[in-house]
Structure 1
Amino acid sequence: MKNKYVFDQTFQNLSQKHMSFEQVFRYIVQFMEKDPTGSFKLMFGTDSQVHATHTKFITGIVIQQERKGVWACFRKVIVPRKMKNLHERISFETTLTEEVVSMFNKEEKDRLFHIVLPHILKGASFSIEGHIDIGSGKRNKTSIFVKEMISRMNSIGLEAKIKPYSFVASSYANRFTK
C-alpha cells in the first residue's frame, strides 16, 4: 500500500537541511543560552498551498529574542492531492502544528524555562505561542474556524495567535509553501 502522505521527519532552514528534532532543540537551547536575560518566544505555525497535483504544508518553529534576533526552521509535509476543503486544510494545518509542538516533551520545555528562570528579576521571560493562519475579520473565509482552532492551541498549552499576529504561519511558513 502506498503512503497517503509524504512526511519529512527532518527540519531545515536556509543554511541547513535534514536536521533531526534533537538538533533543532540543541539550536534553540544554544540560541537562548547566548543571552539568558532576554525575552524569548518559542512560536509554531503551519501554512499550506494547494498545487496542481498536491498540497504542501510547511510547519515553522521560530525562537525569537525580542529586539535581538531569531533562529528558525521548518518541516514539510506533502499531501498527494488538491485539498480544496478549507476546514479540512485549516484543521490539518493545526494538527501538524500540534504534532511538532508535541515533540517538545515536559523535560525539554522545562529545560527552556530553566534557562531564563534565574534571570526573571532582570526582565527575562519565556512564552510559547501557536500561530494559526486564520483571521477573524468579517470578510475572511476562515473566521468561522477561529474559536475551534484557538481552543485546540490553548488545550495544548499554547497562547494562540491569529492574523495579523500569526506571522510564523502567515509569513515565515508561507514563504516555503510556494
Structure 2
Amino acid sequence: MGLTYESPVLFDRFHSPSRGLLDKADVFSNIEQTVSTNNGTYELIVGADSQLRSRGTFFAIVITLIQQGRGGMFFYHKFQERRYTSLQQRIFQEAMYAVNLASELRQYLREHEIDLPIRLHFDIGKNGPTRKFIQQLLSLAETNHFRAEIKPYSFCASTIADKFTK
C-alpha cells in the first residue's frame, strides 16, 4: 500500500500558554524578536504528534524556542482530520507536517537574516511498533536539511505535542 500525502493543513493560528492566540506571522515575528534582542544560545525545534480516535485523527504541531540555561516558550496548533487507521500513514503525516512547518520557519528566518538551526522531533523510538519507520523519517529530515531526534530525546513531539492531542 502506497502512502499518500494529504493536502497541507494551514497552520494559521497558534496558541501560546504565555501569549494566547497568535497568527503564524506573529509567532514567527515573536521568535525573531526574542532571538534578535536577547543574548544567548537558542534551540528551535518543531515536532508533531497525533492520536487516533473514533471521530478522527487529532494532531498537534509544536514550535519550541529554548534559550539554553534560561528556559523557553512554545506555540502549538491543534486540528482534527479524517481517521488514519494505518500507523505508518499517521506517523508519516505527522512528520510531513513538521517538515513543512519547519521549512516555512527556516525560510522566514533566512529572509530576516537570522541563522538559527531548526531541529525536528519525531514521536518514534527504538522500542515499539514505530521503530520500523526510524530510518525513513531520519532520511526525510536529512533530505530536507534538518537534524532530527527520536525518543527518548524528542520531547517536543513525545511530551509537548502529545499533551495537546489528548
Range into which the TM-score falls when normalised by the shorter chain:
0.7 to 0.9
Give the share of equivalent positions with the same residue, in percent.
29
Equivalent in 139, 157, 165 of residue 153 of structure 2: 165
Q: In structure 1, the residue corresponding to 2:117 is in which secondary structure?
A: strand
Cα shift readout 1:108-163 (whole Å, capped 9, x = no counterpart): 236221xxxxxxxxxxxx432000000023xx110000000011111112111000
Task: Decide whether the 8 Å contact of 1:28 with 1:71 is kept in 2.
Answer: no
Q: In structure 1, the residue corresponding to 2:97 is in which secondary structure?
A: helix
Name the counterpart of 2:4.
none
Distance 1:20 1:157 in 2: 26
Offset of 1:69 from its aligned partner? Answer: 1.1
The count of aligned residue pairs is: 159
Q: How does 1:122-133 map to 2 (within 5 A)?
A: 126-133=116-123
Name the counterpart of 1:134.
124
Q: Which has the larger radius of gyration?
A: 1
Structure 2, unaligned runs of 5 or more = 1-6
Distance 1:157 1:72 in 2: 22
Give the counterpart letter for 2:61 in structure 1.
T
Kindly indicate whether residue 38 of structure 2 is the aligned counterpart of residue 13 of structure 1: no
- TM-score by length of structure 1 reads 0.81
Offset of 1:171 from its aligned partner? Answer: 0.4
Name the counterpart of 1:90.
91
Name the counterpart of 1:118.
none
Task: Decide whether the 8 Å contact of 1:6 with 1:78 is kept in 2.
Answer: no
Distance of aligned partners of 1:151 and 1:70 in 2 relative to their CA distance in 1, 3 Å threshold: same
Equivalent in 7, 21, 26 of residue 23 of structure 1: 26
Aligned-pair Cα RMSD in Å:
2.0
Q: In structure 1, the residue corresponding to 2:15 is in which secondary structure?
A: coil
Q: In structure 2, the residue corresponding to 1:112 is in which secondary structure?
A: coil
Task: Decide whether the 8 Å contact of 2:46 with 2:62 is kept in 1.
Answer: yes
Structure 1, unaligned runs of 5 or more = 114-125
- TM-score by length of structure 2 reads 0.86
Give the counterpart letter for 2:153 in structure 1.
Y
Give the counterpart letter for 1:111 in structure 2.
E
Give the counterpart letter for 1:161 in structure 2.
E
Q: How does 1:52-67 map to 2 (within 5 A)?
A: 52-67=54-69
Offset of 1:19 from its aligned partner? Answer: 1.6
Distance 1:53 1:6 in 2: 18
Task: Decide whether the 8 Å contact of 2:64 with 2:72 is kept in 1.
Answer: yes
Distance 1:6 1:95 in 2: 11
Distance of aligned partners of 1:168 and 1:107 in 2 relative to their CA distance in 1, 3 Å threshold: closer
Q: How does 1:44-59 map to 2 (within 5 A)?
A: 44-59=46-61
Distance 2:79 2:8 in 1: 7
Distance 2:135 2:17 in 1: 34
Q: In structure 2, the residue corresponding to 1:19 is in which secondary structure?
A: strand
Distance 2:90 2:108 in 1: 31
